[in-house]
Structure 1
Amino acid sequence: MKAEQAPWQKLGFKLKLGLRARDEADWLPHDDLFDDHSARDSQLAYKAQLLGDRHDEVFAALPGSEPAGREVLAMVRTHLQQFHDASLPDLPADADLHPLDAAARLVPEDLLLLEPRRRANGGTGGDFDWYLVAASLCFPAHWVLAEKMNKPLAAIHAPVPDYRERLETPMDRFFTNMKIGPISSRMNWSLQLGDELFSPHRSTRKAAMGDLANEDMCLRMENQTLRKLPETGLVLFTIRTHMVPMIRWQSTPGAIAALVDMLDQMSEAARNYKGAHLYRDALQQFLINS
């Protein structure tokens, strides 16, 4: 029987949309990707803490985003009740709570809303730019919410190597042409030291071989979905984050070697963006000593 591949072997590292259709029942999965049965409850508790203690860092919304937020809240509640038989937690008794904020407290996913604005001169990606107008982002993977608010997709992804050349036009076109009803999904992966979910800034510490053996080097997976809201026409972007120590794949034939090779194949810009220079030598040393 063929050994199961590690996520980076399945997904690769090249920049692409990589979208797949997803059924409504699987929109917001209940279970953890790596079978950590405590992950959901611990993430919900951590979100509640962050929304209480660091609200301005993890939630932002522009005026006028409330109707779309109400749509999301209704959709999330309906989904949980219909597909997960969920008893919904009590929400803070705060009349001023934005509905997207309320929705985000019900699920581990981060929830982001993007609004279409007509371009003055059109463009290759269509007649609209899509702006981030509201977000509950408790588990950022090395980006700061305040720096991305009220910016279009192109500006949001400006730090991503080759985004402008390879993905800007397809992404804008996909958002504009998205139909109401279908759900699109994709997976994303990155490496980080430690298992901190709230990571707006990447650690600059260079990994040592012991970090891998001691479960301090982690694989961070993002299960992302996109869908267009039927009433307001905004796009809802959801991110479910899963974290697991890299040592999980020490016995998977060729997995760590494939990752080292993958990091070596990246362009210098991609290596810097992914933080590959922080992890590559430790992974190579682990291979030598295994």
Structure 2
Amino acid sequence: MPVMTEILQDHMPRDMVEARALPGIQPLDLTAWLRVDEAYAAQMAHRRHLIATRRADVYWQDLTAADAAREVLSEALKHLPPLGFEVSGQMCRCPDGAVVDLTGEAPLVVLGQILQEDICLMEKRGDTHVLTAAILCFPASWRLREKVGRPLIAIHDTVAEYDDAIARRVQRLFDGVQVGRPLWRYNRLWYDNPELFQPRSASEPRRIAPGQAEAAYQRAERQSLVRLPQTGAVVFSIHTYVVKRSAE
């Protein structure tokens, strides 16, 4: 387990500082989908520890999502060499020196030990997209087990602003994501500690309000939407940054 201060970034990436916060949405170059930053080693140590000790809390997959899970692993591996990974046969050597067996675990569990990004798979079921699988090591005040298997509007049922109009807009967004033309957006949240694993039940919301003066850390999520070419599933990936307030 890393010391929690090791997971901190010195600053937010420039593109996130300059971009519009939610609900802004922008096109993303597919080659920039995944990232490795200065907190990689510490964050990955934390992720691997959570996967080893809290798997039921950070991983879930519906049986129907097997094809999409295999495809997202295959697609992600194509983007790793320029980021400092060595992919050879059934093994992947990560920038921190860890070697991950690409066949020894479920595909999303493998990705969870390689990528800083959390990965959620959203697949069309009827008229809406449903969360069919996820590796979620760094939840920002939500609990995976309460969201799995649920459609978009039900996933956001605790968000007061998420009304029917916004639900329709978000569904159109998921329907409109095209293969090879991903999208991204970001949000910012204030927290009183830098811990990345912060699952909370919808019945026990966090106390720190956005921008509250005593919150010492700003947590930001770079959220990307990528359409898989074969299964058509939408990959909702989340790269999390945490900086001290004084580092703004």
- Contact 1:8/1:189 (<8 A) preserved: no
Q: In the alignment, residue 115 of structure 2 is paired with which amino acid?
A: V
Quick one: structure 1 residues 238 and 230, their matched pair in 2 at CA, closer, same or farther if it must change by over 3 Å?
same
- Contact 2:191/2:208 (<8 A) preserved: no
- Contact 1:21/1:184 (<8 A) preserved: yes
Q: CA deviation at 1:243?
A: 0.2
Task: Tell me the residue number matched to 1:184.
Answer: 183
- Equivalent residue of 2:221, what SS? strand
- Contact 2:131/2:147 (<8 A) preserved: yes
- Contact 1:193/1:203 (<8 A) preserved: no
Task: Tell me the residue number matched to 1:220.
Answer: 219
Cα distance between partner residues in 2 of 1:134 and 1:106: 17
Q: Determine if the alignment matches structure 1 residue 100 to structure 2 residue 94.
A: no
The structure richer in strand per residue is 2
Q: In the alignment, residue 111 of structure 1 is paired with which amino acid?
A: I
Q: CA deviation at 1:61?
A: 0.4
The structure richer in helix per residue is 1
Q: Determine if the alignment matches structure 1 residue 170 to structure 2 residue 153.
A: no
Q: Determine if the alignment matches structure 1 residue 21 to structure 2 residue 30.
A: no
Quick one: structure 1 residues 222 and 208, their matched pair in 2 at CA, closer, same or farther if it must change by over 3 Å?
closer
Q: In the alignment, residue 110 of structure 2 is paired with which amino acid?
A: A
Task: Tell me the residue number matched to 1:231.
Answer: 230
Bigger CA radius of gyration: 1
Q: Which has the higher contact order (CA 8 A, sep 6+)?
A: 2
Q: Percent identity between the aligned chains? A: 31
- Contact 1:113/1:135 (<8 A) preserved: yes
Q: What does residue range 3-18 of structure 1 map to in structure 2 within 5 Å?
A: 11=20, 16=23, 18=24
Q: CA deviation at 1:239?
A: 0.1
Cα distance between partner residues in 2 of 1:79 and 1:248: 30
- Contact 1:114/1:236 (<8 A) preserved: yes
User: After alignment, is 151-160 or 22-31 more displaced?
Assistant: 22-31
Cα distance between partner residues in 2 of 1:73 and 1:198: 23
Task: Tell me the residue number matched to 2:66.
Answer: 66
Quick one: structure 1 residues 246 and 98, their matched pair in 2 at CA, closer, same or farther if it must change by over 3 Å?
same
Q: CA deviation at 1:205?
A: 7.5
- Equivalent residue of 2:225, what SS? strand
Quick one: structure 1 residues 100 and 93, their matched pair in 2 at CA, closer, same or farther if it must change by over 3 Å?
closer
What per-residue deviation string (whole Å, max 9, x for no partner) do you get for residues 48-78 of structure 1? 0000000000000010211111111111111
Q: What does residue range 86-165 of structure 1 map to in structure 2 within 5 Å?
A: 86-87=85-86, 88-89=92-93, 90-91=99-100, 95=104, 97-118=105-126, 128-165=127-164
Cα distance between partner residues in 2 of 1:181 and 1:25: 10
RMSD over equivalenced CA pairs, Å: 2.5
Q: In the alignment, residue 230 of structure 1 is paired with which amino acid?
A: P
Cα distance between partner residues in 1 of 2:56 and 2:247: 35
What per-residue deviation string (whole Å, max 9, x for no partner) do you get for residues 112-141 of structure 1? 0011011xxxxxxxxx21000100000000
What per-residue deviation string (whole Å, max 9, x for no partner) do you get for residues 215-245 of structure 1? xx10000011001111001110100000011
Task: Tell me the residue number matched to 2:51.
Answer: 51
- Equivalent residue of 1:163, what SS? coil
- Contact 1:66/1:98 (<8 A) preserved: no
Structure 2 runs not aligned, ≥5 long: 1-13, 87-91, 94-98
Q: In the alignment, residue 186 of structure 1 is paired with which amino acid?
A: R
Structure 1 runs not aligned, ≥5 long: 32-36, 119-127, 250-290
Q: CA deviation at 1:92?
A: 5.3
- Contact 1:112/1:136 (<8 A) preserved: yes
Q: In the alignment, residue 63 of structure 1 is paired with which amino acid?
A: L
